[in-house]
């Protein structure tokens, strides 16, 4: 049933995906990474994407973030059509609206924490001060450290600060705790939750960790490129209460 993604009908969605497919052709073989996805996401939502490895989560997130374009179907961010858009359009979209957090942090090794954040705030319209963004993730005292001088969790929190410093409309996180231990992972989740709550940023988090799903407004299950279930949490758990 295709309309599963649609909920909370009264509000207009931020993202609208209709019949989205992504096909990778490798010689003879066709891989359908996404296979007819219909999905709406709403302002201020905290959404968790769950699914097995290879199910198409990253592909979906990359399309939402304007890093990739679908092979078929339509993707809308408000009134911007992302499907079939030119590289320039997608760049502008990412620059103005999206914040990313990745599993492997992707910090610039030759820049300090503050500079990694400044890199983004320099091109943003109404950014926070880099120091403030680092303060939000609890790293106010490490602003002049280079990535190589920070732990994995600290690096990931710098990445979050970098993502939120420009006050993005959406925050897209691909396995942000994948490379972290339990305690550090929790700190990262707290940072995400705080941003979502205080700034009202629409947040999508990919994870393999079903426990994290408890802090979401909605949990979307994906399997073999299809949406297979959506559940809403009546009560969101605080990150501090999670355990895995």
Ligand X SMILES: Nc1ncnc2c1ncn2[C@@H]1O[C@H](COP(=O)(O)OP(=O)(O)OP(=O)(O)O)[C@@H](O)[C@H]1O
Residues near other proteins, by CB under 8 A: 58, 62, 65, 67-68, 87-88, 91-92, 94-96, 98, 100, 102-104, 106-112, 115-116, 118-120, 122-123, 144, 146-148, 162, 174, 179
Stretch of 50-58, 143-151, 158-166, 211-219 contacting ligand X, by CB under 6 A: 50-58
33 contacts which partner out of ligand X, other proteins, Mg ion, none, CB within 5 to 8 A by kind? ligand X
- The least CB distance from residue 209 to ligand X, in Å, is 11
The Cα–Cα gap between 39 and 41 comes to: 7
Q: Does 155 bind Mg ion (CB under 5 A)?
A: no
User: Judged by CB under 6 A, how many residues of this single chain contact ligand X?
Assistant: 12
100 binds, among Mg ion, ligand X, other proteins, none (CB under 5 to 8 A by kind): other proteins
Binds ligand X by CB under 6 A, chosen from 54, 84, 140, 240:
54
Nearer to other proteins, 155 or 196 (CB): 155
The single residue among 16, 58, 161, 239 that binds ligand X, judged by CB under 6 A, is: 58
**Cα dihedral across residues 191, 105, 45, 169: positive or negative:** positive
CB neighbour burial string for 73-101, b if at least 16 within 10 angstroms, e if fewer: bebbbeeeebbebeeeebeebbeebbbbb
Strands (E), the chain: 15-26, 29-41, 46-51, 72-77, 80-81, 98-101, 170-174, 202-207, 218-223, 226-232
Check residue 58 for interaction with Mg ion (CB under 5 A). Answer: yes
CB of 224 to ligand X, least distance (A): 9
Closest distance between ligand X and the C-beta of residue 33, in Å? 3
Q: Does 26 bind ligand X (CB under 6 A)?
A: yes
Question: Could you tell which of other proteins, Mg ion, ligand X, none binds residue 120, using a CB distance below 5 to 8 A set by kind?
Answer: other proteins
As a whole number of angstroms, the longest Cα–Cα distance in the chain is: 54
CB 157 within 8 A of CB 185: no
- Using DSSP bridges, classify how beta strands 80-81 and 72-77 pair: parallel, antiparallel or unpaired: antiparallel
Residues 68, 52: Cα–Cα separation, whole Å: 21
> Helix, strand, or coil here: 108?
coil
Is 24 near ligand X (CB under 6 A)?
Answer: yes
Q: Distance between CA atoms of 84 and 63, rounded to whole angstroms? A: 11
Task: Select 191 or 206, whichever has its Cβ closest to ligand X.
Answer: 206
- 157/151 Cα distance (integer angstroms): 10
Q: Which residues bind ligand X (CB under 6 A)?
A: 24, 26, 31, 33, 51, 53-59
């Amino acid at each position: 049933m295709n309309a599963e993604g649609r909920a909370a009908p009264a509000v207009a969605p931020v993202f609208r995906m209709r019949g989205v497919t992504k096909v990778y052709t490798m010689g003879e073989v066709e891989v359908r990474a996404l296979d007819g996805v219909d999905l709406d996401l709403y302002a201020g939502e905290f959404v968790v994407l769950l699914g097995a490895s290879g199910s198409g989560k990253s592909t979906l997130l990359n399309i939402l973030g304007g890093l990739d374009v679908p092979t078929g179907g339509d993707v809308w961010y408000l009134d911007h059509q992302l499907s079939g858009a030119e590289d320039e359009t997608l760049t502008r979209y990412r620059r103005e609206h999206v914040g990313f957090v990745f599993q492997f942090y992707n910090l610039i090794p030759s820049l300090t924490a503050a500079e990694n954040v400044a890199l983004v705030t320099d091109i943003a319209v109404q950014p926070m001060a880099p120091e403030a963004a680092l303060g939000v993730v609890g790293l106010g005292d490490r602003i002049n450290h280079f990535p190589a001088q920070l732990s994995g969790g600290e690096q990931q929190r710098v990445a979050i600060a970098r993502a939120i410093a420009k006050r993005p409309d959406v925050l897209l996180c691909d396995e942000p705790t994948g490379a972290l231990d339990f305690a550090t992972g929790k700190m990262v989740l707290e940072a995400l939750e705080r941003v979502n709550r205080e700034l009202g940023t629409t947040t999508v988090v990919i994870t393999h960790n079903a426990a994290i799903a408890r802090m979401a407004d909605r949990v979307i299950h994906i399997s073999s490129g299809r949406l297979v279930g959506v559940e809403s949490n009546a009560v969101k758990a605080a990150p501090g209460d999670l355990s895995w």
